[in-house]
Structure 1
Amino acid sequence: MKSFPRNRLTLALVASLLTGCAVGVAPQNGTHLSPTECRDLAALRTNAPPTMAQHQSELAALRKAGYDPSPWYDDPYYPDDIQAAQRLVDYWFQTECQRPQAG
C-alpha cells in the first residue's frame, strides 16, 4: 500500500495552481491546454464518435492535471484521483478554450 496521504492529488493540484503550472508541465503562453487539446476536448463533448487522437489529447490533459494512469492495477485512490484531475481539466477548458462569441 502506498504511503501517500489520501488527498495527495488535491495537494499537488493546489500547489501547481499556486506556482502557476500544471504538475510536471510548465504552461505555454499562460495556458495549460494546447489548441489541439482544446479542439479535441470540445469534440469529445459532442455526440460524434471519438477518435483515438481525441482520447490521447484527453489523457494528455489529465496527466497535466496530475493524474497518473500507470498504477491502475493497484490504485486505492481511484476514482477520486481521476475525478479531481477531470475537474481541473474541465476548469481549464472553460477558462482557456471557451471563447465568448462576438455577436
Structure 2
Amino acid sequence: MHLEQQLIQRLNDLSPIHLEVVNESSGHGGYFPGKESHFKVIVVSDAFEGLRLVQRHQKIYAAAGDLLSPGAIHALAIHTFLPSEWTGQATTSPDCAHAPKSD
C-alpha cells in the first residue's frame, strides 16, 4: 500500500469531517515519479476540541506513527481545524530550497 493511502487510513481514525492528503514530493529536491516523501494534510475534526495547535499536531504525529521515519515520510505540513474554524480556506506550503528548477 502506498504511503499516501496508509496516511489517509490512519488519519481517518480522527473521524474527520474533511480530510485532504496532498503529495507535495514533486516540489522537492530528488523527486522522481512515484516518490512519496513530502505531504500536506488538512484535517477538520471534533477530535481537536479544546486542544492548542501543538497538541493538535501531536495527535497527527501519533496517528501517522512509523510512517514518519527514515525512508518513509520526510516532511509533513499540518493544517488542523475544528469544524467551526473551517471555511475552506487555502493552505499553502513553503517553497523548498532544493526544489527542481524551471528553465
> Shorter-chain TM-score: which interval?
0.3 to 0.5
Structure with greater proportional strand content? 2
**TM-score, structure 2 normalization:** 0.34
Structure with greater proportional helix content? 1
